[in-house]
A and B are shown apart, each in its own frame.
Chain A
């Protein structure tokens, strides 16, 4: 019990904050991209689709390296970022958000595209023929019909965003008290031989994951309509 009190809980707090912001980003941007992929046909759709899948297959170190180059202080993007926010992106907790976002967005987009495609197009057509704009149809028809699936994916995204290691350590580094997230702290504890800390954090992460997957499974279960008249 004493050991628990003595532990620095900053990595847990940081990870939760990072995952929450990353999930919010995934939900807005990811849902938008999923809607476009599921409802529009355009040139370059397959290219976009494969670009989205790329973070899933690239080694995290490769992805982290790309981002380091892209967001480094010498790059145009890094420059613009620094001039807006007054500090560079790399080796900050915001970089951990970017890493977590990239870790969870591809899976969310892939699955959310399937969820949005599964909404019967006739409901959307009916809304359009009744005069509802695409925006209104999305909010009032498509989203309410897909919300269970999307909410379950949001829980999964959050769980996944908690767990990024490779890109986080490349882009945000391992600065205790500033950028050290849970998974990085576990690595750090094992490296430095602090078995107690590693065990406690491992249990915390596992418990969190189960706590998130349970409602996700509940939400994604098939709802069978009760008997109809």
Chain B
């Protein structure tokens, strides 16, 4: 199963918003593809186009060999014909029906040709798989956030969709429920082998769930690829900043050695060794981009060894992963509490960067 969607949709300017153009080429295979970007970037509009709730001005949507939409040929399948499971923000479970009735509604809407017994069995299996059997008689209002989430997912799966669309599904869940939902979603991915498009503006969610990531800003994809490719090799400093995990420092290429597959960057007054940079020249200006998690802070010991910056400590704040240290030049690193205790008292620290983590982005 795969999705290939070329979407162009223009929204005219209205009272409080400028005109907007969505122009993306989305390709997704079986697995979870996260569409990550700030609010108003056009993420939900993509889902609405795929689900059949918004009609693109130009383009074409192909899911496997089903043509959902083709502007040139005038094809525009209704939402009913598309078999997309769509999970909306706030779930949209029908409030006047119990969980079981919600699933039954889905089954009767599309599986009307399959026998009653089969439908009943399918609903029973899904209720069991999503641990909803005991809650089947409850109305959505009587469910917790996580239970609603599972019920909404189970309801979309009744009809064996070709494609799953999830609009910020974990919004409003606390971290424990979130983890539970992620597990359910991963299991669903492994079992169904269909493309799952996940709209999110939560970076953590991308890390946790995504096999592929499309970064979107202002209606355009800025980078798309596998999770590791996007996170480890952001295509530009804007993207690195948008990902929010990088220390970005001005750098200049001082040496390049293709033979030994090394390079040397100058960052402030320090030299850093890194992997060879194909296609670059000595003297190129750019930026060093390193995730804060790769920075190792240590005591300042006057020994000048390579791949270290000596930086003045400005402040520290506790975070969920330990203590976040803030240095001059906007550099940040995270250390554990015990590490922090050994560093306390000194205002200048060394920050070590592993050679493999040195990543250069040209200007």
Point out residues on A near B: beta carbons under 8 Å.
120, 122-123, 125-133, 136, 140-141, 144-145, 225-226, 228-229
Contact = CB atoms under 8 A, between A and B. Distances in A.
B109 interface: yes
Contacts of A229: 142-144
Contact of A131 (B90, B92, B109, B141): B109
10 contacts: A120-B92, A128-B80, A130-B105, A130-B106, A131-B80, A131-B110, A132-B80, A144-B96, A228-B142, A229-B144
A196 B85 CA distance: 68
Interface in B314-335: none
Q: Size band of the B side of the interface? A: 20 to 34
A127 B86 CA distance: 10
Closest 3 CB pairs of A and B: A131-B110, A132-B109, A128-B79
Nearest to B48: A125
Given A130-B159, A229-B144, A125 B86 contact: yes
Given A140-B105, A229-B143, A128 B90 contact: no
A135 to B, nearest CB: 11
Contacts of B86: 125-126, 129
B79 A125 contact: yes
Contacts of B96: 144-145
Contacts of A140: 105
Given A140-B105, A229-B144, A129 B94 contact: no
Contacts of A133: 80, 109
A127 B85 CA distance: 10
Contacts of A126: 86, 88, 92, 94
B69 to A, nearest CB: 15
Interface string B25-68: 00000000000000000000000000111000000000000000
Given A122-B92, A125-B88, A145-B95, A131 B53 contact: no
A133 B85 CA distance: 15
Interface string B91-114: 010111000000001100110000
A72 B90 CA distance: 56
Given A130-B106, A131-B106, A132-B105, A225 B155 contact: no
Given A122-B90, A136-B109, A129 B79 contact: yes
Contacts of A132: 80, 105, 109
Contacts of A144: 96
A5 B8 CA distance: 76
A121 to B, nearest CB: 9
Nearest to B82: A129
Nearest to A143: B96
B89 to A, nearest CB: 8
B56 to A, nearest CB: 17
Interface string B134-150: 00000001111000000
Interface in B159-200: 159
B78 interface: yes
Nearest to B144: A229
Given A125-B53, A126-B86, A136-B109, A131 B159 contact: yes
Contact of B51 (A125, A131, A226): A125
B348 interface: no
Contacts of B79: 125, 128-129
Nearest to B106: A130
A129 B84 contact: yes
Could you say which of B51, B86, B105, B110 has the most chain A C-beta atoms within 10 Å of its C-beta?
A: B105
A228 B141 contact: yes
Nearest to A120: B92
Interface string B102-128: 000110011000000000000000000
Contacts of B85: 129
Nearest to B78: A128
B200 to A, nearest CB: 18
A204 B80 CA distance: 52
A122 B78 CA distance: 16
B350 interface: no
B181 to A, nearest CB: 16
Interface in B193-243: none
Contacts of A141: 94
A225 B141 contact: yes
Contacts of A226: 141
B266 interface: no
A140 B52 CA distance: 21
A125 B88 CA distance: 9
Given A130-B110, A226-B141, 5 more contacts: A128-B53, A128-B79, A130-B106, A130-B159, A131-B83
